[in-house]
Amino acid sequence: MRKIDLKLIEDTVAELLYDACVNLNEKELKALEKAKLEEKSEIGKDIIGQILENDYLACKLNLPLCQDTGQAVIFLEVGSEVIFDGNLEDAINKGIAKAYTLGYLRKSVVSNPLTRVNTGDNTPAIIHTKIVPGDKIKITAAPKGGGAENCSALKMMIPADGIEGIKKFVLETVEKAGGKPCPPILVGVGIGGNLEKAAMLAKEAIILREIDDVAEGEAERKLEQELLEAINNLGIGPMGLGGTKTALAVKVNTYPCHIASLPVAVNLQCHAMRHKVKVI
Amino acid sequence: MIKKLNTPLTNQDIESLRAGDIVLITGTIYTARDAAHKRLVELIEKGEKLPFDPKNAIIYYTGPAPKKPGRVIGPCGPTSSYRMDPYSPYLMKEGVRVMIGKGDRSDSFYKALKDYKSVYFQATGGAATLISEAVKDVTLIAYPDLGAEAVYEFTVENFKAIVTNDSIGGNLPLENRKKYQK
């Protein structure tokens, strides 16, 4: 067994979240540069130009790229040979409090959705844990903004709806969102499992997958391509002001499901595609 | 067309704007988002005075990140405007004529724009650090307990936005999206 010091977890979570809020990854910057070149609308081109200028400036000045520094979503892959000397969840939340208070990040979490009082330190995180073989822990930290998350949707479809029904639902969701999720966006589509699994698949699609990868399965790959084309034909464009670059990529993740079911979740990610990973 | 706007705005300044114009604002704008709007409308309903002069005023929907030492303001990009739709007509009735945010709004909001000869601008969502460079001074006006959601007076220089909805029904997103729809 390998004992991992919780202080190390706390510091790593703080470091990853701060880094994610300030420095967009190279791959995401490249995707935005490419979109700027390909965008047909002049206004759209100008907007992606402003986004890139902002992202480079944020990095240079060591400031968050967006004032909405999100609620922290933490994915953990914990090796089954790892033990901790205390409460893992507490350590993660301590790391979040540290990043958001010392790092001048905006605190955007309320303690109760009904009574709505700010927690003051952006805790708690939304934590997803998976136990995997080995003696390491992999931490993915993603500050998820409210604008794009609010435009996400889930529908319990039936098998008869089929692939055409799925496409229709995804397109409706993106069209209804318009400029609100800050396009150009990433579109995560989770298909299968059940209610919560579909939502998880969609979330994993935008946070854990690489922006330039493609789905392993042929059906998923085909759907990703067709959806990307159809979404960009909606004309929504950067910030919804018209154009050809509404989405940079569509990611489809699937899972086995019940013979009666076809759950579909669509999770949208704004152009500030913030996530950082570290293996300890 | 790029237009320079200096506050206080005249009726002519506001009503001559057309959807698609790029504006560079210099002068005073006030920040307010969800929680502040709720309180401002409560004041109006009670017949009390607003914490700023609403005549031809500009409201910017933002909740800045905390400012680091040496900065005027933290990153302060626009937030989604549709959440303010239920409140906006009350403020327009009091004289607010310009609202800056991001994203589409409701038909009832667009109708109110025409009724009150007002305009809606969009700033680039997520370009928060870049936008903060246009803010030269900040004064807290009301509701310090709301933190990032308090009402601030920003003194801005060449704050860039695009007129997406003008006072005569022009709607840039609607018109421009059609051009790129296939």
Are A83 and A12 contained in the same domain?
yes
Are A6 and A140 contained in the same domain?
yes
B25-50 mean pLDDT = 97
With CA atoms as reference, report the closest residue to A132 among A174, A195, A180, A78: A78
Are A139 and A154 contained in the same domain?
no
With CA atoms as reference, report the closest residue to A150 among A126, A124, A179, A123: A179
User: In Å, what is the CA distance from A108 to each residue of A18, A72, A111, A210, B95?
Assistant: 15, 10, 10, 26, 31
**How many folded domains does chain A comprise?**
2
Q: B134-169 pLDDT, tens per residue?
A: 999 999 999 999 988 999 999 999 999 999 999 999
Q: Which residue among A144, A172, A187 closes a domain?
A: A144
**What CA–CA distance (Å, rounded) separates A155 from A166?**
9
pLDDT band at A39 (very low <50, low <70, confident <90, very high): very high
Q: What torsion, rounded to 10 degrees, do the Cα atoms A211, A14, A136, A255 define?
A: -40
- A-interface mutation test, from B176, B178, B179, B181, most A Cβ less than 10 A away: B176
In a domain, A33, yes or no: no
Strand partners, A142: A73
- With beta carbons under 8 A apart, name residues in chain B contacting A242: 172-173, 175-180
End-to-end CA distance of chain A: 14
Q: Helices in A103-192 by DSSP H: which ranges?
A: 146-149, 162-177
pLDDT band at A98 (very low <50, low <70, confident <90, very high): very high
- B65·A234 Cβ contact <8 A: no
Are A127 and A9 contained in the same domain?
yes
Name the residues of B annotated as catalytic: 37
pLDDT beyond 90 at B27: yes
Q: Please check whether the domain covering B2-177 is classified as CATH 3.30.9.60.
A: no
**What CA–CA distance (Å, rounded) separates A139 from A77?**
7
Are A234 and A262 contained in the same domain?
yes
Of B75, B130, B182, the CB nearest to A50: B130
- A2-36 burial by CB neighbour count: b if 16+ within 10 A, else e? eebebeebbbbbbbbbbbbbbbbbeebbebbeebb
β A185-193/A247-257 pair status = parallel
Q: Check CB contact of A122 with chain B, cutoff 8 Å.
A: no
> Mean pLDDT of all residues in chain B?
97
Q: A211-264 pLDDT, tens per residue?
A: 999 999 999 999 999 999 999 999 999 999 999 999 999 999 999 999 999 999
Its ipTM equals 0.95
- CATH number for position A115: 3.30.360
Number of alpha carbons in the 13 Å side-chain half-sphere of residue A17: 36
Residue-number span of the structural domain to which A113 is assigned: 2-20+65-144
Q: Are B154 and B132 in contact (CB under 8 A)?
A: no
Q: A44-94 pLDDT, tens per residue?
A: 999 999 999 999 999 999 999 999 999 999 999 999 999 998 999 999 999
Of B67, B104, B175, the CB nearest to A180: B104
